Amino acid sequence: MKEKIDLLGAGLIGSLLAIYLRKRGLDVSIYEKRKDWRKMDSSGEGRSINMALSFRGWKALEKAGIREKVLPYTQPMYGRRIHDEHGNTFFQPYGKDNQAIYSISRNSFNKLLLDEAEAQGARLHFEHKVEHVQVGNREVRFSLPDGSAKTVRSEVLIGSDGAYSSLRNAFQSQLRFNFKQQYISHGYKELSIPPAPNGDFAMDPNALHIWPRGKFMLIALPNLDKSFTCTLFLPFEGYKVSFENIHDDQDVDQVFKTHFNDAHALMPNLLKDFRRNPTAALINTECYPWTENNALLIGDAAHAMVPFYGQGMNCGFEDCYILDGLVEKYGTFSWDLVFEKFQKGRKPDTDAICQLAMDNFVEMSDNVADPKFLIRKKIEARLHELFPKEWVPLYSMVTFSDMKYSEAYAIGKIQEKVMDQVMRDPLITQNWDRLDYEDILHQVEVAGAV
């Protein structure tokens, strides 16, 4: 008899995990609270939220055998295009040799993964909202659209039900479960830039656009239909430019004309978008343990991070890759062993990326526009060019490699210390080209990062 596994949540992570587990021959059911959105007409939605897919995500898709299916849905972004307040733009490549991150619509991606999971034989149960989980016997009570309830007892239960996970809530009533959540001071709103009148992209289609303004910023990622999805990040309150100070269309126009004038000219639907789309909060959650009695948390349910490193989904996909490797190694005779190995090995890495994601808000919203920061990036790029194996910038370690996040974090801290020292030179702006690069590398070696 095939072993039965129940997944809660058919988001990006649950769908990919279902593909992996089906490929291992397990009997997989997914329970999802939403309607089957694949059958719904999405033309009226008007919103297309997109995500940046990078190396770790691709690697997980490749192992699941669906890389080639995903590729046509993506648009490569080779760097950041920074927009200053005067409408000038500057391009900062992400890496070398045309390294890119890839923009993909969340909806199309989730549909594709779910179709694939279903094609592999996973059973999908939509409109099943988890109301309660009894961790002791893995009994899950669902509410159905007609108001009735259904109870399922699972042999193995995995919570891929996102940042507000019901399974995690149930874990909280267990002994010695640690949980920490933090809403940051900023929220976000999705906006859009349609194609230009000639039908083409209105801006550089191969970049992630950023309008960094210190305490707030706007970003835009390209879509395949030649539009851009923009995300406005603002403090909720406490600053002149904040959500609490935007009361009407006039205020929206005023903020955009003053701070994002070049974008404003490309946003005919700004006021409508702003009124219609919700203002959403940003949360970081960390918890432990992730497993209890043959039940496991994965993806955002285990570690929801703020989006400033573009890693939440990539990290969740990497979770699936690692879990699959453990199933391959230890088999399915002892899920407790597999889950225990998973949480022990993975937790330091997800803690590291959660922290890096928090730290990166300052880099994206403020530093990228600072001339000294640009020099610093140039020095780091030169170091990487001269010593490609010995000096890899933190962004590249996180985004273009599968080095453990915790290791990237530790090396990044050493690099930061050495670079802080280098940048203390008051003449660095003139001298950066003539530095003793071997010596900088030596300092890093002495500190143990190479």
Ligand X SMILES: Cc1cc2nc3c(=O)[nH]c(=O)nc-3n(C[C@H](O)[C@H](O)[C@H](O)COP(=O)(O)OP(=O)(O)OC[C@H]3O[C@@H](n4cnc5c(N)ncnc54)[C@H](O)[C@@H]3O)c2cc1C
Rule CB under 6 A: which residues touch ligand X?
A: 8-14, 31-34, 51-52, 129-130, 160-162, 166, 188, 231, 299-301, 307, 310-314, 316
**Measured from the CB atom, is 95 or 299 closer to ligand X?**
299
In whole angstroms, how close is the CB of 302 to ligand X at the nearest point? 8
Give the nearer residue to ligand X in terms of CB position, either 313 or 379: 313
Q: How far is the CB of 414 from ligand X (least distance, A)?
A: 26
Contact 320, 13 (CB under 8 A): yes
Q: Which is nearer to ligand X, 14 or 289 (CB)?
A: 14
Residue 38: name the closest of 103, 119, 130 by CA: 119
Return the number of other C-beta atoms located less than 10 Å from residue 309's C-beta: 27
Least distance CB 80 / ligand X (angstroms) = 13
b/e per residue, 168-204, with b = 16+ CB within 10 A? bbbbeeeeebeeeeeebebbbbbbbbeeeeeeebbbb
Shortest distance (Å) from residue 209 CB to ligand X: 14
- Contact (Cβ atoms closer than 8 angstroms) between residue 355 and residue 309: no
Query: Strands of 156-159's sheet, edge to edge?
Result: 123-125, 27-31, 4-8, 156-159, 295-297, 291-292
Enclosing H/E stretch for 149: strand 149-153
- The residue of the chain with the least Cβ separation from ligand X equals 11
Minimum Å gap between C-beta 83 and ligand X is: 19
Nearer to ligand X, 18 or 82 (CB): 18
Give the C-alpha separation, 337 to 232, whole Å: 43
Q: How far is the CB of 323 from ligand X (least distance, A)?
A: 13
Taking the least distance from each CB to ligand X, the nearer of 255 and 313 is 313
Instruction: Give how far Cα 12 sits from Cα of 53, 93, 104, 376, Å.
Output: 12, 28, 12, 36
Q: Are 75 and 100 in contact (CB under 8 A)?
A: no
Q: How far apart are CA 250 and CA 253, in angstroms?
A: 5
Give whichever of 118 and 440 is closer to ligand X, judged by the CB atom: 118
Identity of the residue, 230 or 444, whose beta carbon is nearer to ligand X in the bound complex: 230
Half-sphere exposure of 54 (CA within 13 A, CB side): 24
Measured from the CB atom, is 7 or 444 closer to ligand X?
7
280 neighbors 187 (Cβ within 8 angstroms): yes
Give the whole-angstrom CA distance, residue 6 versus residue 11: 14
**Considering the complex, what minimum distance in angstroms separates the CB of residue 98 from ligand X?**
20
Cα torsion 145, 147, 153, 158: sign: positive
Q: How far is the CB of 368 from ligand X (least distance, A)?
A: 17
Residue closer to ligand X, measured from CB, 169 or 443: 169
Alpha-carbon span 356 to 450, nearest angstrom: 20
Tokens of 239: 């600053």
Q: Which is nearer to ligand X, 92 or 166 (CB)?
A: 166
Task: Compute the least distance from the CB of residue 34 to ligand X, in Å.
Answer: 5
* DSSP calls for 212-268: E-SS-EEEEEE-TTS-EEEEEEEESSSSSSSGGG--SHHHHHHHHHHH-HHHHTT-T
- Which residue's CB is nearer to ligand X, number 31 or number 342? 31
> Does residue 291 sit in helix, strand or coil?
strand
Q: Between 323 and 383, name the residue whose CB sits nearer to ligand X.
A: 323
Least Å distance, CB 153 to ligand X, is 17
To ligand X, the closest distance from the beta carbon of 247 in angstroms equals 24
CB 271, min distance to ligand X, A: 21
CA–CA distance, 317 with 300 (Å, rounded to integer): 11
Give strand pairing partners of 140.
Answer: 133, 152
